[in-house]
Structure 1
Amino acid sequence: MTFATTDLCDAHEDKLASGALRVLEPVFRSFGRAQIFGGRAVTLKLFEDNSLVRSTLEQPGHGHVLVVDGGGSLRCALVGGNLAQIGETNGWAGIVVYGCVRDTLELDACNIGIRALAVHPQRSQKRGAGERDVPVRLPGSVVRPGDWVYADIDGVLISDAPLT
């Protein structure tokens, strides 16, 4: 997949103006070897519990992007090296986490794109709590299941429809 978020913004100013294309706030750090990734959004809403992240990444990803609304918590990591490897193996294009990750050396060895707020060494709880396929709010945009995510080193875009 080859694109530049800057070019997509320039080519779709009408969609930016209408809200059909949205830019996430520049609060996300980049991890993983895939600096450019995109695909349909699969959404999760949870808090300090990554059980649903694991069970979702264990399913075939079909080139989709997992968007995790972790409530912006900076108290534990929701994705680590093992989960990134599972996501890569199962064909996920990327993961966007409104929360923390860990095992950054392992993340950077995986051929998957990852965006997250920060790094935290502590793992999350495992209560099995959370919701899947619901609209989630990340800084700058609501992301709905099936929206299109486009990410590169300049930012993360959310679109109602695929961009050409």
Structure 2
Amino acid sequence: MVNGYIRDTFQITDIPVALYALGTCSRKAIPVTSGERGVRLSFGGIEFNQGDYLYADTDGVIVTANKIV
């Protein structure tokens, strides 16, 4: 899941994952950023924790602490 805009949508149509974004943007920007690992993330009313599994398709998203077999 992307909390922002994406570009190069033609090139990513063949990747075998679901991609959800706010929209597309034609301008390429490579800002200098930093991030953190191992922190709790809350997005869309869902808590994401390190080690969680995320399953997504065109119908929706499932987040679970346990792997779905």
TM-score after normalising by structure 1: 0.37
Contact 2:52 2:66 in 1 (8 A): yes
Aligned position for 1:159: 64
Q: Which amino acid aligns with 2:66?
A: A
Q: Highest relative contact order (Cα 8 Å, sep 6+), 1 or 2?
A: 1
Displacement of 1:146 in angstroms is 0.5
Question: d(CA) in 2 for partners of 1:114 and 1:152?
Answer: 8
TM-score after normalising by structure 2: 0.77
Aligned position for 1:150: 55
Displacement of 1:113 in angstroms is 3.1
Q: Which runs of 5+ in 1 are unaligned?
A: 1-95
Q: Which runs of 5+ in 2 are unaligned?
A: none
Question: d(CA) in 2 for partners of 1:158 and 1:110?
Answer: 20
Q: How does 1:1-164 map to 2 (within 5 A)?
A: 96-164=1-69
Name the SS for the 1:98 alignment partner. coil
Contact 2:17 2:57 in 1 (8 A): no
Displacement of 1:143 in angstroms is 0.7
Displacement of 1:117 in angstroms is 2.0
- Greater strand fraction, Structure 1 or Structure 2: 1
- Greater helix fraction, Structure 1 or Structure 2: 1
Identity fraction in percent: 29
Question: d(CA) in 2 for partners of 1:133 and 1:111?
Answer: 25
Cα deviation per residue 1:119-158 (whole Å; 9 max; x = unaligned)? 1122333313222232112113011111111111210011
Cα deviation per residue 1:51-82 (whole Å; 9 max; x = unaligned)? xxxxxxxxxxxxxxxxxxxxxxxxxxxxxxxx
Q: Which amino acid aligns with 1:154?
A: D
